[in-house]
Amino acid sequence: MRVLITGFPPFPGCPINPTQQLVDAIRDDAIAVNGVQFVSELVPVAYRGVEEVFDRLISEIQPSLVLAFGVGRHQSTLRLETLGVNLDDASIQDNASELRQNKPIVKDGPSEIANRLDLELLAKELLRAGVPTELSNNAGRYVCNHLLYYASYRQSQVEPAYDFLFTHVPTLENGFDLDLTLKGIEVMINWHE
């Protein structure tokens, strides 16, 4: 099975993005799971660009599972995001200098899209494996929520279908080691299979 892992580069106010390091580590074969081919890619912190790159990756790679990661400051656990909201609304610009306030992501799209996976069960598995984890129903209104909503929206349109999960990870300063996120990915994949 092919698994696409995505992370983001730094953005205004966040000079080091641990999800970029995550992407690099997986490219360097930091994890291996039998029968799984990992493809690890950065996606831009840009409302428009992230859609283009996501669509291209899905059609080129045709993954059966996409695990998307972004940094969430002010948190100390992995946060499995259960809900994408059809709204861009942030006080900072994206990396393409675009400021979006009160703007829908998909015109006439549903106001919210819930994740299709049983994330309560997955959270229990992660906790059992010693990976601090919470569920979250608020991924913000910046580019992470944009990717979460857009990828969830595209799920019903793209063939072959993919499963999708968005996870916010803490900053490294918050004492959350990269190895914990890597362990989390192994748990996610074994659970999904």
Binding site for ligand PCA (CB under 6 A): 8, 11, 17, 19, 45, 70-72, 140, 142-144
Q: Could you tell me the smallest distance in angstroms from the CB atom of residue 180 to ligand PCA?
A: 17
Residue 65 or 144: the one with the smaller Cβ distance to ligand PCA is: 144
Catalytic residue among 52, 120, 168, 193: 168
Residue 2 or 141: the one with the smaller Cβ distance to ligand PCA is: 141
Token reading at 68: 């998307």
Q: Could you tell me the smallest distance in angstroms from the CB atom of residue 115 to ligand PCA?
A: 16
Q: Where are the alpha helices (DSSP H) in 129-177?
A: 143-154
Q: Which of 92, 91, 47, 50 is nearest to 68 (CA)?
A: 50
| Cα 166 to Cα 34, 70, 152, distances in angstroms | 23, 8, 10
CA distance 108 to 116: 21
Catalytic residue among 81, 120, 125, 173: 81
**Is 14 one of the annotated active-site residues of the chain?**
no
CA distance 107 to 86: 9
> Chain centroid to CA 118: how far?
16
Catalytic residue among 98, 144, 186, 193: 144
* CA atoms within a 13 Å half-sphere pointing along the CA-CB vector of 150: 22
Q: Could you tell me the smallest distance in angstroms from the CB atom of residue 1 to ligand PCA?
A: 26
**Is 192 one of the annotated active-site residues of the chain?**
no
Residue 63 or 141: the one with the smaller Cβ distance to ligand PCA is: 141
Residue 72 or 84: the one with the smaller Cβ distance to ligand PCA is: 72
Residue 18 or 63: the one with the smaller Cβ distance to ligand PCA is: 18
Would you tell me how many other CB atoms lie within 10 Å of the CB of residue 13? 8
Q: Could you tell me the smallest distance in angstroms from the CB atom of residue 39 to ligand PCA?
A: 19
Q: Could you tell me the smallest distance in angstroms from the CB atom of residue 171 to ligand PCA?
A: 10
Q: Which of 29, 103, 21, 25 is nearest to 70 (CA)?
A: 21
Catalytic residue positions?
A: 81, 144, 168
